[in-house]
Structure 1
Amino acid sequence: MPLSSIRAHLDRALAALPPGALVVGCSGGADSSVLLHALAQVPDARARGLRAVHIEHGLHADSAAWSGHCRETAARLSVPIDVIRVEVARGRGSGLEDAARRARMAAFERTLRPGEILVLAHHRDDQAETVLLKLLRGAGPEGLGGMRVLRAFGAGYLWRPLLELSRSALRDHARDHGLQWLDDPSNADTTLRRNFLRAEILPRLAARWPDADAALAHSAAWARHAADFIDAEARKALARVRGAAPDTLAWRDWLALPDALRDLVLRRWLRELGLDEPAHFHVAELERQLRDASEDRLPCVRFGDTELRRHRGLLHALRPLPPLPRDWQAEWDGAAALALPGGDTLALEPARRLDPPLLVRHRRGGERIKPAGAAHTRELRLLLQEADVPPWRRERIPLVFREDALLAVGDLFVSDDGAALGLRWNRAPA
C-alpha cells in the first residue's frame, strides 16, 4: 500500500464532510495515533481547525502515563489536546467494558462545541467485530448495519473516516512513519466479548475465509441501507398512527403495521417522548394484550420507568403515577396555591382569601355536578366517561366543594358558582 494512501483517503473523505472543526479522539493506541498523524498531514484538516481529546478512565495504574503519552504525541504534531478525566460507573449489570464506553462517549459529547466533528479511528476490522456482536445479540437491520461513517452527535457530528480500511493498513502506516503507541493491557482480556472475538474467533474465520472482514463490512453496508429505508418508513408510519395528543397511538392501526415497522414505530415514539425503550419480550406481550384483551379491560405493560396503557382506541405512554394517599382531603382558603398529592396545584386567579374555606378531595364515588350552562345535574362518573378521561386519570382529578356542593372537577367541569372562583388546575409535568 502506498505511504500516501491513508492521507489520500482522508483528503477525499474531507471533501464530502460538512464544515466544522475536527476533534480527534486520541486513546494513545495504534489506531488513533495513525488517525491523528494522518490528519495532521492534511492541509484541509488543519485549515478547518484540528484538536485532540484524550479520555482518562483511571481503570489501570498506567492511566496517567497514557495521558502523558497522548500529550507528547499531540505536541510533536503541533495539535492542541485536552485530557478529560471521567469516573466509570461500576456494578450496573452491563459490564465494565460498556460502562467505560458510556463514560467516554458522554465526555466526548460534553466537550464537543457547536458544529465540531468528533473523529474516531474505527476501521474495517472493528466493523466486523461490531456486526458479529450485534448478530449474537439478535439485532435487526439497524444493529447489523454496524457503525455509521457519519452521524449527528452532541452539538455536531461523529465521523469514522477509516471504516473502509483494514487494521493492517493502519499498522503499515504506523510502521512506515515510525509512530509510537501504547498497547492497552485490557485488550488481552478475552473475558471481554469484543476481545474474545478479536483474538479467538475472527482469526479462525480469516484462516478459512481470508476476506471475512471485508464480507462482513459489505453485509453491514447492505443492512445499513435497509435500516435507513425502514427508518424513513417508520417515521411516516408513526405520523399516521399517532393520536391527537403526542403521548397516544391508535393501537389498532399500530397493530396493523407490517412486522418490519411495528417495533421501530413504537421505539421511535417512546424515544421522542423521552421514555424508556422496551425489551423485545415487552413488545411481544404488548401485542398479545392488545389483541386478546376484551374491550372492557385496560391492558398495561410496564418496563423501566415507563407504562403503556390502553383506553378505548388509544395506547397511552406515561411514567408510573405515584400512589395517592387514602381518603386525602384538605381545607383551602384560596390565599395561596394548594399543593395536591402527585405534584399538581390548585390556585385562584386572582388569589384571595375565602371565608368559609373550600374543601378539596379526590373522587369517592357518587359525586354529581351541574356544569355551568347545563340544564341538569349529572353523575360525575358519566361526565368523565363522555369526556374520554382515561380511568387512571379520573381518580387524580381534584374535586372542589363548598359545604356539600361540588363546585369544580379540576378545570374540566365547573358549576355556575364554581365559574366565579377563577380556578386554575396546574398539572405537574408528566
Structure 2
Amino acid sequence: MQFTGRAEEAETQPCSALPDDPFSEAPVSPAAFIARMEQLGPWLPDDPALPPVGLAVSGGGDSLCLAWLARHWRKNLLAFVVDHGLRAESAEEARLTVQRLTAMGVPARLLTLTTLTKGPGIAERARQARYAVLARACREAGCLDLLLGHQADDQVETIRMRQEAGSGPEGLAGMGWVTALPDVRLVRPLLSVSRQALRNTLRQAGLTWVDDPSNQDTRAERVRIRYSLQVQDTRHTLWQTGVKAGAARMQQDAERAAFLARQVTLRPEGWACLGPDLPEPEILSALIRCVGGLIYPPSPAAVARLQAARQEATLAGVQLVCGQAGWFLVREVAAMAAPIPAQTGARWDNRFELWLPSAVSAEGLSIAPGGLGLERKDRGGWTARFCATLPALWREDRRVAVPHLGWCAEEGLKHARFLFQPPVSVTGSGVYGLPETRGEQHHT
C-alpha cells in the first residue's frame, strides 16, 4: 500500500459537514472537525515552542482520518504509532504509517511493545500495554492531551458489550468525549462520526490505510458484537441509551464529588479514610478502584456484599479495615507490585510516581513495599499494618527510605518523594455531553 494524494489538495475538494445522524456515511469536513475541537478545549496555542497535542495513530482508517483532520486544525502535533508486535506484519505496517503521517505533515514517533505474548486475555492486555506506553510517551514529550480515534460504531459496540455484561448506568454511558487521567487528557473528537464516514473521508482525500485482520476475528467479543449490530440495526437505540446514561452519569458524578468532599479523605499515602459509616456501594467501588490502582472497578455484586456485611475483608487487592477513627481502605500487601529499579519518573504499583534528588546514586536502589519492622516512633502514629503498604526505597535487601513517613537511613534520600497518582480518579473524570458550538445547531 502506498500513500496517494496530498492533504493540501484535499482541502479544496467539497466535503459535507457532519450531520446530526452519528451513523451517516457522509465524509467529514475539516471545518466541522475544527468546530468540534473548539468544544473540547481549552487548548494550548498552536506554537512550536509549546508542547504538542498528541495523537494515537494505529494506521487504521479511524486514527489515520483523525490525523488528517487534526492536521487541518493545527500544526503543533505529534503522532504516536504503537507496534504491538503480535503479527509478523505489524512492524512494516507501523513503519508505513509513520511514512504516511510524515507525508501529510504530521510528525510521528514509533513506539514498540516487546513484552506482549499471545494467549488468554490478549485484547485487554494489549490495550493496557498500549495505553501505558502512550501515557509514558506523552509525559516524555510534554503532551497534555492525547487524541484518540474512537468513533460512533466503537461507542455503540462498547455500550452493547456492557449491556450484555450487566453493567449499570455508569457503564452504559460508554466512552467519554474527554477522560482526565493523572497526567494526560484523553480526547475522543470522533465519537459521533461513523466508521464508514471516516473511511469515505480518506477515500475522498486520496489516502489509504491499514486493515488489521484481527478486526475480522469473530473469536473476539467486540467483533461478534459488531457483526450482530450489522444484522440487527439497533445502533441508534444504543446511541440514545448512551446519551441518556452519560447525562445521568455526569449528574451522579457531581453528587458523589460533593459527598466525598464532605465525608471521605483520600490521603497521599494511598489510603482512603471513610469515617464511621461505609458509603453506598457505587462510591465504595470507586474508592476501591483508586486505592488499588485499578483501571476498572471491581464486581458490583462483590462490592454490594462487602458494603452490606460491614466487616473487615479484602476485595480486588484492597483491604477494608475498621479502626478507632472509623473505616479505612488500604492496599493489600500481597497484591502489590514486584520491586522495580528506582529512578525519577518510575511508576510503581500503578499508583505511585517517584522523584529522586539528582545527586542520589540509583545503583542497587529499588522500589518495593515498606513492609513490617518499622519502629513505632517512626510510623507517624499509623499502625504497622498500614505502613507496610507504603512505597519504600530499598538498597539491595536493606530498607533505606519511606518518604511518606519522613524516615530515611541515607542522608541523600531525605528529599526523595512519592506522588500518589492512581490511574483513574475517584470522582468522575469524563465528559459525556457537549455544549453547542456558536453558530452550530448539531453536535457535529
Q: TM-score range by the shorter chain?
A: 0.5 to 0.7
Distance 1:50 1:160, change over 3 A: same
2:311 maps to 1:283: no
**Mapping of 1:17-416 within 5 angstroms?**
17-20=41-44, 21-40=52-71, 42=72, 44-46=73-75, 49-90=76-117, 95-112=121-138, 113-153=141-181, 155-199=183-227, 201-206=228-233, 212-242=234-264, 247-252=272-277, 254=278, 262-274=280-292, 278-290=298-310, 299-311=311-323, 314-320=326-332, 342-345=372-375
Distance 1:289 1:114, change over 3 A: same
Distance 1:389 1:187, change over 3 A: closer
Distance 1:59 1:342, change over 3 A: same
Distance 1:172 1:285, change over 3 A: same
Q: Percent identity?
A: 28
Instruction: Output the amino acid matched with 1:11.
Output: I
Find the aligned partners of 1:22 and 1:321 in 2 and give their Cα distance.
Answer: 38
- Secondary structure at 1:78's aligned position in 2? coil
Q: Which has the larger radius of gyration?
A: 1
* Cα deviation, residue 124, structure 1: 0.7
Find the aligned partners of 2:101 and 2:137 in 1 and give their Cα distance.
Answer: 18
- Secondary structure at 1:19's aligned position in 2? coil
Instruction: Output the amino acid matched with 1:269.
Output: L
Find the aligned partners of 1:59 and 1:123 in 2 and give their Cα distance.
Answer: 24
Distance 1:219 1:346, change over 3 A: closer
2:10 maps to 1:10: no
Find the aligned partners of 2:113 and 2:169 in 1 and give their Cα distance.
Answer: 33
**Taking structure 2 as the reference length, what is the TM-score of the superposition?**
0.64
- Secondary structure at 1:83's aligned position in 2? strand
Q: What is the aligned partner in structure 1 of residue 3 from structure 2?
A: none
| Structure with higher RCO (Cα < 8 A, 6+ apart) | 2
> Which sections of structure 2, spanning at least 5 residues, go unmatched?
1-12, 18-27, 45-51, 335-369, 387-404, 410-417, 421-444
More helix by share: 1
Can you list the C-alpha shifts for 1:179-235, whole angstroms capped at 9, x where unaligned? Answer: 111210111110001111112x111121xxxxx323322221221111111111112
- Secondary structure at 1:286's aligned position in 2? helix
Distance 1:303 1:169, change over 3 A: same
Find the aligned partners of 1:31 and 1:425 in 2 and give their Cα distance.
Answer: 49
Answer whether contact 1:27 1:70 (CA < 8 A) is retained. yes
**Taking structure 1 as the reference length, what is the TM-score of the superposition?**
0.65
Instruction: Output the amino acid matched with 2:127.
Output: R
Aligned residues: 318
C-alpha RMSD over aligned residues = 3.4
- Secondary structure at 2:161's aligned position in 1? helix
Find the aligned partners of 1:244 and 1:166 in 2 and give their Cα distance.
Answer: 40
> Which sections of structure 1, spanning at least 5 residues, go unmatched?
207-211, 256-261, 291-298, 323-339, 349-387, 394-423
Instruction: Output the amino acid matched with 2:66.
Output: L
Answer whether contact 1:54 1:83 (CA < 8 A) is retained. yes
* Cα deviation, residue 155, structure 1: 2.9
Find the aligned partners of 2:79 and 2:35 in 1 and give their Cα distance.
Answer: 21
- Secondary structure at 2:42's aligned position in 1? coil
Find the aligned partners of 1:106 and 1:132 in 2 and give their Cα distance.
Answer: 26
Distance 1:237 1:203, change over 3 A: same
- Secondary structure at 1:309's aligned position in 2? strand
Answer whether contact 2:264 2:275 (CA < 8 A) is retained. yes
* Cα deviation, residue 272, structure 1: 4.7
* Cα deviation, residue 92, structure 1: 8.6
